[in-house]
Every structure is written in structure tokens, then in C-alpha cells.
Chain A
Amino acid sequence: MAIESTKVSASETLTKTRSFGKIRCHNPSCMKRMEPTPGSKEITCPTCGMAYRIYWLGPNLPRIRGPVWDVNRKLIEKSGSSKNNPQ
């Protein structure tokens, strides 16, 4: 048989890098890993201040549902982009 049946592929070795229970901040250069308290509804990134609403798909599978909108708006205005940018 010409194929190597026992060799472990790169993708198989990468499955070890999966992290359950954690989420990442979505601010591109921040991307800090955060571990929300089980069941919590919101989390604020301690590094960049972005605030997120959390949804729990399972006890160890939190996901970011979206931004906390009033914090999001403040951050947009702080970065000087409020001009011509109504809600």
C-alpha cells in the first residue's frame, strides 16, 4: 500500500491546540484570551476595554454573541469616528 497509514498528520497534531471554555477579544491587535465565569452574561477585555455579550452553547462552550452596544458606541466616539456615523 502506497499510503502511510500510521503517520500523524499536521491537522491531527493541531487538535491539541483547541481550547475549550475560553474566548478571544475581537480587537485585532489585542486578541487576548479570556475565560468567562461559567454562566456569566458579559465580559470586558481587561486589556483594551471592549465589552462583549456572552452566550453559552454548553457549560464549557461560551461564545461572543456581540458587543455591549453602549460601550461599543463610546469606544467608536472615543476614536474620533462619530462624525457622519449615526447609529
Chain B
Amino acid sequence: MALDRKIAYINLSTGQTEIKPIPLELRKKFIGGRGLDAYLLYNHTPQGCDPLSPENPLIISGGLLTATCASATARAHFMAKSPLTGLLGSANMGGFFAPELAWAGFHHLVITGKAEKPVYLWIHNGEIEIRDAAGLWGKTSADTQWAIREELGDEEIKSAVIGPAGENLVRYACVMTGIKNAAGRTGMGCVMGSKNLKAVAVRGTMDIKISYPLEALEFNKKFIEQITSAKVNKTQGALGTPFIWGATNCWGGIRTRNFQYNQMENADDIEPEAIDEIANKTIGPHHMAGCFGCQVHCRTQYRIPSGPYAGKYDEGPEYTSLGAFGAEPDCKSAETLLTANYLVNQYGVDNLEIGSIISWAMELYELGIIGSKETDGLDLSFGNEKALLEMIHRICTRKGWLGNVLADGGVPAAASIGKNSFDYLIQVKGMNNLHSDERATPALALGIATASRGSDHLRSRPAIDLYHLPVDVLRKIYSSPIAYSGPLSSEQTEYVGKAWEVFWQENCYMAVDCLGICKYHTVFLGATLPNFEDWPKAIYYNTGLEFTPEDIWAVADRCNNIERLFNLREGLTRNDLSKGDTLNHRYFDEPLRRGAPDVIGLSIDRDKFNGMVDEFYGHHGWDQNGLPTAETLKRLGLDQEPTHLL
């Protein structure tokens, strides 16, 4: 049974649009969402193209299950060549944009070219219009959305927009929808800015047909119960993603002062429970919100309690903000954290990247590698909360020498700053890391080193590795749908079996990204949440397509390989410090100094780490340089790529 779902090609230089159906053959091979985006990216990006050039396609999609009667399928995916890394650009966001795009008649958009002056796209029930955005340019991400609604006279319009950071081509600007939902990483907002594309506004009242509605409903009910009854999701539904902080800051997994320490001591005011109290006071007892169709409701609502922005409404902060504006710059006040969170949402910039990059600059300032000449007199000491907020303004508006340099991303900034500044930059493939410190967790270290979009925790992180699960439970999860009889270990500080965990998680996350499901509904933070064996039913009842768990695994494997092919084509080499699958020397050379007694003194063992990378490549069917072998490509049906079927 073919799905009646469409892809649209939009050329902003010529103003031409073309609409096509999505062939079933490609659905079978790539499912949709991020997987099909990766296929499109590999097929439509000229090798070596400048990420800010009109040739770089911006691909926007919803997943296969988006807007169907499956749980938490609100995710929208954005893909392009990244202006931050020069490799794969890929970011995912929740909210209400992706389902609205589906009801407007589209599951994938491929946007190329560059408009002569600022424009936005208006996509409505199968129709696409390019409209003048002169009146929107310069507006914050939230104001842009309200202005579009007013202009078009429909309050139900959902828009994916850029804020001033995207307009100013900050290389890690993000795409925003709603108050805080962001396709945050790898600079997808910068790509929009380079195309003079301020927003994609969508509104749809078209049907998404459900193949077996009653079965889909019944299954969804069961699915939701399995998800909401998990301890992890009950906690997340009360405190949002910051709930993770409790555990990680206990054992010592929080980068503090850039990378100097691994625990933020006495920071009780920014603990999730303290943020929750502020939300309670400023909003009320019911201050959690959800994305489309999701019963986990992990989005905290709050008003800034004090300071120059007191009373402003905002959502979050996510766990990422606690590190980016708390631990990494060593700032301990909730007011600063919540203000910074508000500013990045309004500017439309990746909170994680900007916090990390400012903290790196703070370390350089402490070391004397940069001084007041570079900072235009700003005291960039760790813990200087005013300086943190000021740097957010400067970077997003490219103000001052340092603001402008840091807006280009860590690796180019290190080249501009010179000396040994690069040695202190906590990045992989040119993208900075989350505030997590992976020196006590080899599995997590392997994950960030090999993640396809650069240092990142949402591509392959086996977070359940931290739960000390018995080996038989681990085996139950990690030996399905593909048998694995190799070693597994419950110890988070171990190296054995971790390469398989990372490989399995990489396929698991790819699968949810293809389906459009949120990662909190699979084996990410909760071991007992649905995975490969549970998805075939959701797919069948909603779309009528038949996939076995093994089929979904094979699709995920294929999609991960096409992302790999893209990265290799654009210059990834295994041991390249800014374009490879390796870590900053500090992971190997600087032992941990804080946290639980068991982790103090630990660092990553270089030989064992390289062994894990070898093993990980082996699981993928890649050679020792990380290149897929001819046999692997043939097995996955990728030996003829690019095939230009779409």
C-alpha cells in the first residue's frame, strides 16, 4: 500500500516549486524523517559545497509516523551541510510544527537557492507561497511567529523560524518553533539565514489517513501506559530534562569550568528542584507542557523571577542549559540561568554550543591566552554572570572582536585566537560537547567521538549504561532484534562490550528519528521503554506498511551508513582532531578530580579507547579507517549511491 505523502522542492533563487510523491521503494529503504533526509542530502549536495552557498539544500521533514495516531511523534528534522562543522548538519525538534506540516500536505521539503531579499514560506493545504519577510527581519524568534499569525490572520499557524542569531549567520544558530522548541545543533538556523529565509509557516487541515484507526488507538493507549508508567518519565514529567542533573552531579559527570572539574559543588540554586520551585511560584502547580500528542509533558513553564528580564515568560530550561549557563561557566544563580535560557530562545541560538564556547573563552581568559584587549575590556572570569549574559548578546549580534570570532564556532575561533587555544576546546568534528564529562564512562566517550553530527549525546549515547543494570537485562535489550553474543558489562567505567551498546543505540536513535518519535519514548533514559520490537505495530496500524524489527534495524543501519558516506565525502578522517572520530587530549591526559570516590583519578585510556573505535567500526562493517567496505555497502543496497530517485 502506497502512502499518499508528498515532498516539495523549493528553489528560493528562481521561486520555482515542484511537488512529488515519495516512492514506496524509498520508504522501505529509508522509512522517512532523518533517514530519508540523509538520502536527500547525499543526493542533492554538491561535494565540497560551501554550507552558506545557495547550493546547500536545507531539508525539513516530519517522520513516517508524524501526525498519526502513534505516541509522541511530533519531531521535525532539519538537515543540510553544517556551517559549523563542514560535515553533516542535522537537528531535531519537538513542538507542533511537524504534524502541522503533515496536515498541510508535506512530509519533506528540500529548499535550495537564495532569495534576493528576506522571505518566508507560507505552506497551506498543499500550496506553497514565497512571501516578503521585510517586516519580520530583525524580530526575535517568538515575535516572528506571532507576527506571521497576525499577518496571515490565523492563530493556528505553526512556524519554524530563525531569530537574530540566524540572520547574523552565527554558525550555531538554530531553528525555533513555539517558545523554546529548537532544532538546535549544527547551525541549521545559519543555513536558513544564508538563504534569506526567515521562516517556514505552515497550516493544514488535510487528513492523514490511519490504516486501522481502532487498532491504532488501542495500541497507542497501551504504548502511552508503558511510557508514562516508567519512573524515569514520571520524574521527567515533573521536573523536565534537568532531572538528570541529580545523578550526574553526584557521581561527577558534569563539566565544570569548561573542563577543569567534573562536579559543580554547592550549586543548589540551579538544581532542577529549585527551578521547579520558581516555576511553581511564577506559573503555578501545573507548569508542565507537552509537545504534540505526548503525555510525558517534560517542558517546564516559568517566568524569570528577578533581574532586568523579570516577569518574562519562557519555557525550559532543558538539562543542556543547566550545564551551558551553570556548570561550564561556573555560574550558580537561577536568575542568570533562566535569563540566559530566555536570551538564547529569543536570539535563536544553540544554548549548548554558546554556553560551551563562552566557557572555553573563560578558560582562555584565566590562562591569559586572551585578555581584556580581545574581550574589549570585559572581565571574562569564570563565575562572572554579567559577563556570561553580555557574551550571549555579543555573539548573537557579532559585536566586538571576541563576539564576532566566537560566532564562527570553536575551531575557526581557535584559529583566530591562536596560541594553544585549540587544546582547551571540548569538541569533536568542530562541534562542542554537552556539559557531560565522559572520562568515567568509556561508552559515552565513544558515543560522542563517533556521533555523526559531531560531539553529541543524542546520536548514540547508551545512557542506561549508567544504571548498573544486570547483564541479563542488558542482554535482553541489546541482543534484539539482532543477536549479540559478545561481552556486556554492567560497569560504567568498563570498556568491554561498550562498542556494541553504542552501535545498538545509534541504530535505535536513527530508527526513532526516521519514525519521528521522541527519544524519551525509547531506550534512552529508560531501559524499559519501547524499541525495535514495539514499533512494527505502530507502523502497521497507522500506515499499513509492514516492517519487522529486523527490517527497521536494517533501515537504521543503512541510514547511518549514508550519513557516514556524506561525512567521508566531505572530509572526515578517523584521527583528525577537528574532523574525525577522536577526542580532545584532555580526555586522556587530565584525570577526574571530583565526584564519587570511584571516579576520582579516572581518565580515558587511549589504547582501550582506540580498541573500542576499532570494535565499533567492525560492528558497522567499516574498515580500520572508518570507511564502509564494499561488502557492507552492497549488503545495505548503498553501492549505487547517489541514485537520485528523489
Binding site for B on A (CB under 8 A): 1-3, 5, 7, 9-15, 17-20, 24, 26-31, 48, 50, 52, 55, 57-58, 61, 63-67, 69, 72-73, 75-76, 78-79, 81, 84-85, 87
Tell me, rounded to whole Å, the shortest Cβ–Cβ distance linking B546 to chain A: 4
Q: Does B476 touch A at the CB level, under 8 Å?
A: yes
Stretch of B39-47, B294-302, B416-424, B527-535 at the chain-chain interface: B527-535
Q: Is the CB of B440 within 8 A of A28?
A: yes
CA distance A7 to B481 in the complex (A): 14
Q: Is the CB of A73 within 8 A of B527?
A: no
Known: A50-B250, A66-B250. A11 touches B528 (CB 8 A): yes
Number of A-B contacts (CB under 8 A): 133
Q: Is the CB of B534 within 8 A of A12?
A: yes
15 contacts between A and B (CB under 8 A): A1-B540, A2-B548, A9-B533, A11-B530, A11-B531, A14-B476, A14-B528, A17-B527, A18-B230, A28-B598, A50-B597, A55-B246, A64-B247, A66-B250, A73-B265
* Selected contact of A18 from candidates B468, B493, B528, CB within 8 Å: B528
* Selected contact of A52 from candidates B231, B250, B597, CB within 8 Å: B250
Tell me, rounded to whole Å, the shortest Cβ–Cβ distance linking B229 to chain A: 7
Q: Does B268 touch A at the CB level, under 8 Å?
A: yes
Q: Is the CB of A15 within 8 A of B593?
A: no
Which residues of chain B are near A29, meaning CB under 8 Å?
491, 493, 598
List the B residue with the shortest CB-CB distance to A7.
Answer: B533
Question: Which of A10, A17, A29, A76 has the most C-beta atoms of chain B within 10 angstroms of its own C-beta?
Answer: A10
Q: Is the CB of B492 within 8 A of A28?
A: yes
Known: A11-B529, A65-B271. A57 touches B235 (CB 8 A): yes
Known: A3-B546, A27-B596. A11 touches B226 (CB 8 A): yes
Tell me, rounded to whole Å, the shortest Cβ–Cβ distance linking B508 to chain A: 11
Q: What 5 pairs between A and B have smallest CB-CB spacing? A: A9-B533, A31-B468, A26-B250, A27-B596, A14-B528
Known: A10-B480, A15-B226, A28-B492. A3 touches B533 (CB 8 A): no
CA distance A5 to B492 in the complex (A): 36
Which residues of chain A are near B251, meaning CB under 8 Å?
26-28
CA distance A75 to B595 in the complex (A): 9
Q: Is the CB of B593 within 8 A of A85?
A: yes
A14-B527, A27-B598 given; name 10 further pairs at CB < 8 Å.
A3-B546, A9-B531, A11-B523, A14-B476, A14-B477, A17-B473, A18-B229, A29-B493, A67-B249, A81-B601
Which residues of chain A are near B593, meaning CB under 8 Å?
76, 81, 84-85
List the A residue with the shortest CB-CB distance to B469.
Answer: A17
Which residues of chain B are near A17, meaning CB under 8 Å?
473, 527-528
Which residues of chain A are near B540, meaning CB under 8 Å?
1-3
Q: Is the CB of B601 within 8 A of A79?
A: yes
* Selected contact of B238 from candidates A15, A57, A67, CB within 8 Å: A57
Tell me, rounded to whole Å, the shortest Cβ–Cβ distance linking B323 to chain A: 15
Q: Is the CB of A14 within 8 A of B473?
A: yes
Which residues of chain B are near A12, meaning CB under 8 Å?
226, 534
Q: Does B97 touch A at the CB level, under 8 Å?
A: no
Which residues of chain A are near B239, meaning CB under 8 Å?
57
Q: Does B600 touch A at the CB level, under 8 Å?
A: yes
Which residues of chain B are near A48, meaning CB under 8 Å?
596-598
Q: Does B77 touch A at the CB level, under 8 Å?
A: no
Which residues of chain A are near B528, meaning CB under 8 Å?
11, 14-15, 17-18
CA distance A66 to B245 in the complex (A): 8
Tell me, rounded to whole Å, the shortest Cβ–Cβ distance linking A55 to chain B: 5
Which residues of chain B are near A19, meaning CB under 8 Å?
231
Which residues of chain A are near B533, meaning CB under 8 Å?
7, 9-11
Tell me, rounded to whole Å, the shortest Cβ–Cβ distance linking A13 to chain B: 7
Q: Does B599 touch A at the CB level, under 8 Å?
A: yes
Known: A3-B546, A20-B231, A87-B265. A66 touches B246 (CB 8 A): yes
List the B residue with the shortest CB-CB distance to A13.
Answer: B476
Which residues of chain A are near B531, meaning CB under 8 Å?
9-11
Q: Is the CB of A66 within 8 A of B600?
A: no
Tell me, rounded to whole Å, the shortest Cβ–Cβ distance linking B628 to chain A: 29
Q: Is the CB of B480 within 8 A of A61?
A: no
CA distance A66 to B596 in the complex (A): 12
CA distance A65 to B270 in the complex (A): 11
Q: Does B198 touch A at the CB level, under 8 Å?
A: no
* Selected contact of B600 from candidates A31, A61, A81, A84, CB within 8 Å: A81
Q: Does B273 touch A at the CB level, under 8 Å?
A: yes
CA distance A38 to B396 in the complex (A): 48
Which residues of chain A are near B467, meaning CB under 8 Å?
24
List the B residue with the shortest CB-CB distance to A19.
Answer: B231
CA distance A78 to B597 in the complex (A): 9
Q: Does B234 touch A at the CB level, under 8 Å?
A: yes
Q: Is the CB of A63 within 8 A of B537?
A: no
Interface string of B462-479 (1 = CB under 8 A from A): 000001100001001100
Q: Does B266 touch A at the CB level, under 8 Å?
A: yes
Tell me, rounded to whole Å, the shortest Cβ–Cβ distance linking A15 to chain B: 5
Which residues of chain B are near A87, meaning CB under 8 Å?
265-266
CA distance A66 to B253 in the complex (A): 12
Known: A2-B540, A85-B261. A11 touches B534 (CB 8 A): yes
Tell me, rounded to whole Å, the shortest Cβ–Cβ distance linking B540 to chain A: 5
Report B588-627 residues with CB < 8 Å from chain A CB. Answer: 593-601
Report B188-208 residues with CB < 8 Å from chain A CB. Answer: none
Question: Which of A15, A30, A75, A87 has the most C-beta atoms of chain B within 10 angstroms of its own C-beta?
Answer: A15
Which residues of chain B are near A20, meaning CB under 8 Å?
231
Q: Does B243 touch A at the CB level, under 8 Å?
A: yes
Which residues of chain B are near A15, meaning CB under 8 Å?
226, 229-230, 528
Known: A14-B527, A24-B468, A81-B594. A66 touches B271 (CB 8 A): yes
Interface string of B534-545 (1 = CB under 8 A from A): 101100100000
